C-alpha cells in the first residue's frame, strides 16, 4: 500500500515537473523566437547550398571551356607541326603588359611618336592629365580594364606603323583611331549588352537597348573632354572638334559585336574597289581596324593570349 502510494506521488510529481518544463520552453520560444530563428537558419542554409551548387556549375563550365581550348590547340598542332606542343609546354602564362605608370608613359609616347602632339598643338601636360583621367575611369574588371585598353591601343599603334597607314590616312583620321582605341571601353561595368538589356538596367533604359555599353563609353569619354584640364582638343576650332567627336563616336559604337555582321558585309562590298578618297570607304576601314584591335589578343603569342582567355571567362561567368 505504501509502495503504491509512493509510486503514485512520484509519477504525479514527474508529470508536474514535465508540464513546468514545457511551459518554460514555450516561454523561452516566445521570448527568443527560437522557431523563427530555426526557419531563418534553414532558409539561409538552403540558399548557401544553392549558391554552392551554382558556383560548382560555373567551375564545371569554365573547366569545360578550358578543355575545349586545349583540344582545339592539340588539333591545330597536329595539323601544323609536331613541335608546337613541346614549345608551349615551356611557356609561362603572362599578360605581357607593363605596369600602370609604364602603360601611361607608353600611351603618351605613341601620341608623340605619331606626330599628333606636334601637329595638333596638344599641350603635353594636358595629355598626361587626360591619360591619368582615362586610367581612373576604367573599372577593375577581370577583362574590360585599363590593361585591355592599353593592349587595344598598342595594337592600333602597331597597325598604323607596320601598315604605313599615315601614308593613306590623314592625321585627323590617325588621331580619331588612337583616341577611340583609348576610350572604347571607358567605365565598362563588366556585364555585356545582352545582360544589360535582359536585366533592364539603367544603361539599357537610357539608350533604348541600342548598344547601351558603347553609348555609355562615348558619353564618359566626352564628359572627360569637357573638363578643361583634360581636353586634348582645346586648340581645335568647333568644326574640327565636331569632326573628331563624330569620328570617335562612330568607331566606339562599331565595337558592339551585335553589329559585326553588318560592318563586315559592308567592308566586303568595298574592299575589291577600295578608294581612299571616298570618306565612306575610309570610315568603314577605320571601323574594321578598331574591331580587329579590340579582339587582337588571339593573334598574340600563346603565353600572352591564354591568360586573357581566362580573364574573359571569369568576367563572363560573373553574369550567370
Annotated binding site for Zn(2+): 148, 184-185, 294
How many angstroms separate the CA atoms of 146 and 208, rounded?
Answer: 27
Cα torsion through 192, 299, 116, 185, rounded to 10? 10
Cα-to-chain-centroid distance, residue 12:
74
d(CA 254, CA 233): 22
Tell me if 138 sits within 8 A of 146, measured CB to CB: yes
Spatial separation of the C-alpha atoms in residues 208 and 211, rounded to whole Å: 8
Determine contact, residues 250/215, Cβ cutoff 8 Å: no
Q: Among residues 135, 144, 188, 281, which one is catalytic? A: 144
129 contacts: CB under 8 Å, gap ≥ 6? 229, 230
CA max distance for the chain: 124
Task: Name 33's Cβ contacts closer than 8 Å, sequence gap at least 6.
Answer: none
Give catalytic status of residue 144 as yes or no: yes
Binding-site annotation, residues: 148, 184-185, 294
Q: Where are the beta strands (DSSP E) in the chain?
A: none
Q: How far apart are CA 225 and CA 134, in angstroms?
A: 10
Place of cell 532558409: 43
- With contact defined as beta carbons under 8 Å apart, do 289 and 169 qualify? no
Torsion sign, CA atoms 209, 279, 108, 298: positive
Collapsed DSSP state (helix, strand, coil) of residue 1: coil
For the chain, how big is the Rg over CA atoms in Å? Answer: 31
Q: Which residues are catalytic?
A: 144
Amino acid at each position: 500500500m505504501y509502495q503504491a502510494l509512493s509510486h503514485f506521488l512520484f509519477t504525479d510529481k514527474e508529470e508536474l515537473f514535465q508540464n513546468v518544463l514545457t511551459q518554460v520552453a514555450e516561454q523561452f520560444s516566445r521570448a527568443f523566437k527560437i522557431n523563427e530563428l530555426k526557419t531563418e537558419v534553414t532558409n539561409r542554409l538552403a540558399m548557401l547550398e544553392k549558391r554552392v551548387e551554382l558556383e560548382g556549375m560555373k567551375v564545371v563550365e569554365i573547366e569545360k571551356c578550358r578543355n575545349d581550348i586545349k583540344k582545339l590547340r592539340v588539333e591545330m598542332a597536329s595539323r601544323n607541326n609536331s613541335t608546337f606542343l613541346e614549345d608551349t609546354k615551356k611557356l609561362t602564362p603572362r599578360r605581357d603588359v607593363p605596369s600602370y605608370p609604364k602603360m601611361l608613359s607608353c600611351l603618351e609616347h605613341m601620341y608623340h611618336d605619331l606626330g599628333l602632339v606636334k601637329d595638333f598643338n596638344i599641350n603635353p601636360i594636358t595629355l598626361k592629365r587626360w591619360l591619368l583621367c582615362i586610367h581612373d575611369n576604367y573599372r577593375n574588371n577581370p577583362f574590360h580594364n585599363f590593361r585591355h585598353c592599353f593592349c587595344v591601343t598598342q595594337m592600333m599603334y602597331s597597325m598604323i606603323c607596320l601598315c604605313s597607314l599615315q601614308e593613306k590616312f590623314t592625321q585627323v583620321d590617325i588621331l580619331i583611331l588612337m583616341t577611340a582605341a583609348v576610350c572604347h571601353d571607358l567605365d565598362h561595368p563588366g556585364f555585356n549588352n545582352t545582360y544589360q538589356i535582359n536585366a533592364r538596367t539603367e544603361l539599357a533604359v537610357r539608350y533604348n537597348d541600342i548598344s547601351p555599353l558603347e553609348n555609355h563609353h562615348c558619353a564618359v569619354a566626352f564628359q572627360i573632354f569637357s573638363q578643361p584640364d583634360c581636353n586634348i582638343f582645346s586648340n581645335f576650332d568647333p568644326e574640327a572638334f565636331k569632326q573628331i567627336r563624330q569620328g570617335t563616336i562612330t568607331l566606339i559604337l562599331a565595337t558592339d559585336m551585335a553589329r559585326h555582321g553588318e560592318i563586315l558585309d559592308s567592308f566586303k562590298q568595298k574592299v575589291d574597289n577600295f578608294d581612299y578618297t571616298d570618306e565612306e570607304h575610309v570610315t568603314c576601314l577605320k571601323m574594321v581596324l578598331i574591331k580587329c584591335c579590340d579582339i587582337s589578343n588571339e593573334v598574340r603569342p600563346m603565353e600572352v593570349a591564354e591568360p586573357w582567355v581566362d580573364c574573359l571567362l571569369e568576367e563572363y561567368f560573373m553574369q550567370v
